[in-house]
Structure 1
Amino acid sequence: MTLKRREKRRYISVMHQGLPADAFAVIERRHKDLFGTIASARASLRLTKPGDGVIIVRSSLQEATGVLAAIALSDPPMATVDMSSSMKRLKRRLAKVNTAGSKF
C-alpha cells in the first residue's frame, strides 16, 4: 500500500505594475503560451496574496522553473523578488527587504 503525498509547492513574490489580478492573468496566459495547457494545469497557479506592487503566486515544485520563465518573459515587465517553500518564511523575508514599500 502506498500513501498519496501532497504535492510540494513554491511561493514566488513578483513585483508588478497595475492591478494584482491583471498581473496574475498575464503570468497564467504567458505560462500557457510557452508550455501548453497541460503544463499550466500541472503548475496549479494560485494568487495567494495580492498587494500593491508585489503579489505572491503559489506554484507546484515541478513547474516552478517554467513559472519563473513565464514571469521573466511577460509582456508588461515583471520581476521575481524571492521564492520560498513556505508562505511564512517568504513574508518574513519580504518584510526585511521591503522592496515595493508594501507590508504583508
Structure 2
Amino acid sequence: MYGNPQRLDDSDVQSLRRDAGRWLKERRESVGLSQRELAGLVGTQYYTFISQLELGRGRIPPDRYRAWSKALQVDLRLFVRTMLKFYDPVTYDILFEGEGA
C-alpha cells in the first residue's frame, strides 16, 4: 500500500509539518479566526484538530483543501501548492523546480 514515502528522515518530515502548522496559524490569525471558528468553517468536529495541525502533528486531508482555502481566504491553487510544498516536497520539487516558488 502506498504510504507516501518522501525519502526524508523523520526529523525532516516533522520539521516540514511544523512549518506547515506555522503557516496555517499565521493565515488563520491574519483573517481573525479562532481555532474553534476555523474548525466550524472547514467542517471538523473538534477544534483541537486545528491545534494539532498548527503544532505540526498531522496534515489536512486533500479532500478538504477547498474548504480550508476558502476559510483562510487563500486562492485554492496557491493553497494546494503551499500544502504540497510542506506535505509532499518530492512532488512539489518535480512540478515547480526552478520556478522560484
Same fold, TM-score > 0.5, yes or no = no
Question: Higher helix proportion, which one?
Answer: 2
Higher relative contact order, structure no. (Cα contacts within 8 Å, ≥ 6 residues apart): 1
Question: Higher strand proportion, which one?
Answer: 1
Which of the five TM-score ranges fits, normalised by the shorter chain?
A: 0.3 to 0.5
